Amino acid sequence: MSFDYDLFVIGGGSGGVRAARVAAGDAGAKVALAEMDRYGGTCVIRGCVPKKLMVFASEYNEVVADAKAYGWELRDGPFDWQSFRTRLNSELDRLEGVYRSLLAQSGVETFDARAVLKDAHTIELSTGETKTAKHILVATGGHPVRPAIANAELGIVSDDIFHLESLPKSILIIGGGYIACEFACILHGLGVEVTQYYRGAQILRGFDEEARGLIAESMRERGIDLRTGTNIVEMAPASDDHTISNTGTGSDAAMGASSQDIAAVAERQSGSQSAERGGPIWVKATNGREKVFDAVLFATGRDPNTSDMGLEQIGVKLGRRGEVEVDEYSQTAVPSVFAIGDVTDRVNLTPVAIREGMAFVETVFKGNPTPVDHDLIPSAIFTQPEMGTIGLSEEDAREQEPVEIYCTSFRPMQTAFAGRTDRVLMKLVVSVETRKILGCHIVAPNAGEMIQLAGIAVKMGATKEDFDRTVAVHPTMSEEIVTMKTPVSTA
C-alpha cells in the first residue's frame, strides 16, 4: 500500500517539530506536519520561553536594589509592561519563524490546519484535505484547565498572561505547582500585589520537603501573601450581589481586613461598581475569607489535547485525564500511531518531549528500537529563589532504602552583602549501601544552571566520594555541594 507520507506529525511544538525534522533530515523520510496554532507550541509561544523572559524582567527589581547597596546611584522607576510585551511578541514572532524555516529546510511539508484521525493511516485536515501516512505521530501537547466552579471563566490561565493589555494591580493565584509558584514570583517582581491560595499543606507537592519549605518562606518574605490549606470556593464579578452574611468568621471584614477590601465588599453589596467582565473579581475562600482582586489566575494543572481528534474512534487508548496511553517506545494501541510529549502525560517537560521524539525516530525510521529513558531527569522551578532538582527527595529516598542526608543552608555572599536575608539550600541524598547520590536539591539563584551540571554526575552514578574528590571552585555558592563532610542525618 502506498501512502502520501512516511510520517504525518500532528502538532508543531518542540517534540513534534524535532521528530519531523530528524525523520525528514537524518532519516530521509517523507514527512508532513499539521499545526492549528503557532509553530513552537506551548514551550516557545506560551510557556517556557516567554515565562523565562518574564522571570528575567521581574528579577531586575531586586538587582536594582542590590546595585544601590553595592554603591550604584540609581533612580527607581515603574515597570513598563507595554514596552516589555512589544519586545516579547517580536521575539516570539522571530522564534516561530525559526521553527517554520527549520521545518522547511528539512523538507517537511507543513499545513496550518487542525488534524483529525480517520483511520490508522488517514488524517483529515480542517482545510478539507485528506492525507495518508505510514506512521502518524500525535504531539498535540496540553492546555491549562480551570476548576469546576461557577464563574471560573472570569479567571485567566497561564496562556493569557502574555496577552494582558496591562498588568493587574492585584492578583489571586490558585494552585501550588510549577506554574502557580513561578507566576507568583514573576508577578510580584513586576510590582503586582500577589495572593496565592494552595489547597494542600505545602506548595510544590512531590519535591523535597526542605527545599519547598525554603521556597515558601522566601516567597512570603518577599511579600507574596501565600496561604496554604486554602482554596477558592466562589467567585463573581465584584459588583454582583453577595450578602455579607456569607462571609463567615474567616472573612476579612471579620478578621480586620484593609479598609480598601472592606470598601470593595461594601461597594459590591450596594451594587454601585461596574460589573463588566474583566473588572475586579470577588472571591470567597474555603476559610470564609472574602476579597476583591483585579485578576484571578488558575494554575490548577493541564490536560492533554486529545478531544475530538478521532483517537478513540480508531482504537487509540486514552487514560483517565485524556492522555494517550503509550508503551516505552511511544507506540499507542494502534501500531501505526505513536504519541510523544505532554499529550502522553509522562514527564511534562520540553526536553523530555524532544527526547521522546528522537527516540521515536530511532525506533521507527532508523531500525534502532530506543526506549525513552525517564529516569533521573534534572529540572528547575523558576521561582525566586530558583530550585534545581534531580532524583529522589529525602522523603521518597527514605521510603526506598537507608540514606545519609548532607545539607547546608547559608546566606550567599552576593545578596548578603546587599543586606538581603535570602538563604541558599544545598542537599545531597546518599544511599548508605551504594554511596550513590540518589537526589540533589538546590535552592539558590541560578539553581537551574547548577543542576544541569550536577545532573551529569548524578546520571553517571556518581557517589558521595566522587563529589568529595572534586575540588571546590572558590568562592562560589555551588562549591558547598562538594564540601559537605558530615551527614546531618542518617536513617
Cα gap 7→28, rounded to integer Å: 11
**Segment interacting with ligand NDP (CB under 6 A) among 160-168, 178-186, 267-275, 357-365:** 178-186
Query: Is 199 near ligand NDP (CB under 6 A)?
Result: yes
Q: Which of 121, 135, 242, 474 is catalytic?
A: 474
Q: Which residue has the cell 500585589?
A: 193
Residue closest to ligand NDP when measured from CB atoms: 177
- Find out whether 232 and 291 touch, Cβ atoms under 8 Å: no
Collapse the DSSP code of 306 into the 3-class scheme (helix H, G, I; strand E, B; otherwise coil) and give the result: coil
Q: Quick check: is 374 catalytic? A: no
147: which residues sit within 8 A by CB, 6+ positions away?
A: 174, 232, 298, 300
Give me the least distance between CB of 381 and ligand NDP, in Å please: 5
State how far the alpha carbon of 354 is from the alpha carbons of 3, 44, 341, 387, in Å. Answer: 26, 13, 8, 22
Give me the least distance between CB of 301 and ligand NDP, in Å please: 4
Interface residue with ligand NDP, options 174, 226, 405, 426 (CB under 6 A): 174
Interface residue with ligand NDP, options 106, 202, 231, 414 (CB under 6 A): 231
Give me the least distance between CB of 176 and ligand NDP, in Å please: 4
**Segment interacting with ligand NDP (CB under 6 A) among 197-205, 309-317, 366-374, 458-466:** 197-205
State how far the alpha carbon of 44 is from the alpha carbons of 84, 94, 104, in Å. Answer: 17, 11, 18
**Segment interacting with ligand NDP (CB under 6 A) among 93-101, 308-316, 379-387, 463-471:** 379-387
Give me the least distance between CB of 390 and ligand NDP, in Å please: 12
**Segment interacting with ligand NDP (CB under 6 A) among 248-256, 282-290, 296-304, 353-361:** 296-304
Query: Is 381 near ligand NDP (CB under 6 A)?
Result: yes
58: part of which helix (H) or strand (E)? helix 48-69
Interface residue with ligand NDP, options 39, 162, 293, 382 (CB under 6 A): 382
Name which of 182, 178, 277 is nearest 224 in CA terms. 182
Give me the least distance between CB of 392 and ligand NDP, in Å please: 17
State how far the alpha carbon of 267 is from the alpha carbons of 240, 262, 271, 442, in Å. Answer: 10, 8, 6, 47
- Find out whether 33 and 9 touch, Cβ atoms under 8 Å: yes
Nearer to ligand NDP, 205 or 469 (CB): 205
Nearer to ligand NDP, 178 or 365 (CB): 178
- Find out whether 170 and 40 touch, Cβ atoms under 8 Å: no
The three-point CA angle 87-92-94 to 5° equals 95
Give me the least distance between CB of 199 and ligand NDP, in Å please: 5
Residues of span 314-353 touching ligand NDP by CB under 6 A: 348-349
Query: Is 458 near ligand NDP (CB under 6 A)?
Result: no
Query: Is 162 near ligand NDP (CB under 6 A)?
Result: no
Nearer to ligand NDP, 294 or 345 (CB): 345
How many residues touch ligand NDP under the rule CB under 6 A: the total is 24
CA 369 to chain centre: 30
Give me the least distance between CB of 113 and ligand NDP, in Å please: 26
Cα gap 154→237, rounded to integer Å: 8
Residues of span 2-61 touching ligand NDP by CB under 6 A: none
3: which residues sit within 8 A by CB, 6+ positions away?
A: 121, 132, 133, 134
State how far the alpha carbon of 158 is from the alpha carbons of 12, 181, 336, 344, 353, in Å. Answer: 19, 12, 34, 20, 20
Nearer to ligand NDP, 40 or 430 (CB): 40
Name which of 176, 210, 299, 282 is nearest 239 in CA terms. 282
Nearer to ligand NDP, 286 or 463 (CB): 286
Name which of 24, 275, 46, 267 is nearest 141 in CA terms. 46
- Find out whether 383 and 366 touch, Cβ atoms under 8 Å: no
Query: Is 235 near ligand NDP (CB under 6 A)?
Result: no
Give me the least distance between CB of 302 and ligand NDP, in Å please: 5
Query: Is 299 near ligand NDP (CB under 6 A)?
Result: yes
For residue 54, give the amino acid letter: M
Nearer to ligand NDP, 25 or 147 (CB): 147
Nearer to ligand NDP, 181 or 311 (CB): 181
226: which residues sit within 8 A by CB, 6+ positions away?
A: 184, 195, 196, 198, 203, 216, 219, 220
* β-bridge pairing 5-10 and 290-293: unpaired
Cα gap 288→290, rounded to integer Å: 6
Name which of 406, 394, 443 is nearest 208 in CA terms. 394
Nearer to ligand NDP, 31 or 285 (CB): 285
Nearer to ligand NDP, 279 or 301 (CB): 301
Interface residue with ligand NDP, options 115, 179, 211, 265 (CB under 6 A): 179
Interface residue with ligand NDP, options 39, 162, 178, 338 (CB under 6 A): 178
**Segment interacting with ligand NDP (CB under 6 A) among 195-203, 269-277, 303-311, 312-320:** 195-203
Strands (E), 140-182: 142-144, 156-157, 170-174
Nearer to ligand NDP, 87 or 205 (CB): 205
Residues catalogued as catalytic: 474
Residues that bind ligand NDP (CB under 6 A): 147, 174-180, 182, 198-200, 205, 231, 299-302, 348-349, 379-382
